[in-house]
Amino acid sequence: MSVMGAEIEAPASVTHGDFVVSDGVRIHWMEAGAGTPVVLLHGYTSCCDAGWFANGVAKELARDHRVIGIDARGHGRSEKPHDPAKYDGDRMPADVIEVLDHLGVGKAHFHGYSMGGGIVAHLLARHPDRFFTASFGGSGVREEDEALAAQAAARDPQGHDPRQEEGQRTLRERADRDDVALKAVQEGRLAKPSTAPPLDLGSLGFPIQAINGEFDAPISKTQRLAREAKDFTAVILPGRGHNTVTTFPFTPRLYIDSIAGFVRAHDPR
């Protein structure tokens, strides 16, 4: 099977499943491999198939881990309600915990891209006991202090990914995209934001990583992590913006290897 003329880098054996969470919405997941769990959370307008299984990330991790990709509500093969009330700021993180409880997963490595990174940050604040490691892609933990945020922005590399618009177009043309549901996602989170407690990065004893494109505000997204986290690693993808990292077929090998190498280096002994 191929997409846009390139072979899909999916694991040899992939399991699909669905679970109806506590508010009645059906959430879909994909799973491959065996071993210590790695939970992958995709970005806004994408899905776990496109974000992880089609681009080689899941295939590489599934060589020695149990890989679980979860379609956020409103995305992929999960149910797509058109009611903004179904998308309050606490709901997507709660879906992840409910699906993992259903699958019998207590602790895992977590990696989230963009919106998925926001879910990782929420879970870090509310459920730090569920983590072996935390990893961000196209995201991180931004400064809350205006002066520090300005300082970080001044250090961000300036430039443009020449394939950024092509990556955005690929996302817009996804067959499973539901624009009404995606609008509801945005409206729901604005109407009722997350109630997670403030994130105390200094209290987290496990390793944290962030992987960002050179032209995707990598300093703004990681300056606070570098200052406050006990064990933090930053990776910058040369020449990349926001939409040419997980989007197939643009995914750079450095992104795949950075996730897999970080997970393998910090597996529980």
Q: Which domains does the chain have, with CATH numbers?
A: 2-265 (3.40.50.1820)
3-state secondary structure 75-132: CCCCCCCCCHHHHCCCHHHHHHHHHHHHCCCCCEEEEEECHHHHHHHHHHHHCHHHEE
Contact indicator for 8, 2 with CB cutoff of 8 Å: yes
pLDDT at res. 10: 75
Q: What is the pTM of this model?
A: 0.95
Residue 77 — φ and ψ, nearest 5°?
A: -95, 0
Structure tokens at 209: 């990583």
Q: Kindly report, residue by residue over 116-162, the tens digit of the pLDDT.
A: 999 999 999 999 999 999 999 999 999 999 999 999 999 999 999 99
Residue 4 has pLDDT above 80, yes or no: no
Mean per-residue pLDDT for 3-20? 74
Structure tokens at 145: 């202090």
Contact indicator for 94, 71 with CB cutoff of 8 Å: no
pLDDT at res. 166: 96
Burial class (CB in 10 A: 0-12, 13-18, 19+), 179: exposed
Q: Kindly report, residue by residue over 89-129, the tens digit of the pLDDT.
A: 999 999 999 999 999 999 999 999 999 999 999 999 999 99
What one-character DSSP code corresponds to residue 9?
Answer: B
pLDDT at res. 136: 98
Q: Kindly report, residue by residue over 51-88, the tens digit of the pLDDT.
A: 999 999 999 999 999 999 999 999 999 999 999 999 99
Residue 11 has pLDDT above 90, yes or no: no
Helices 91-102 and 115-126 cross at an angle (nearest 10°) of: 70
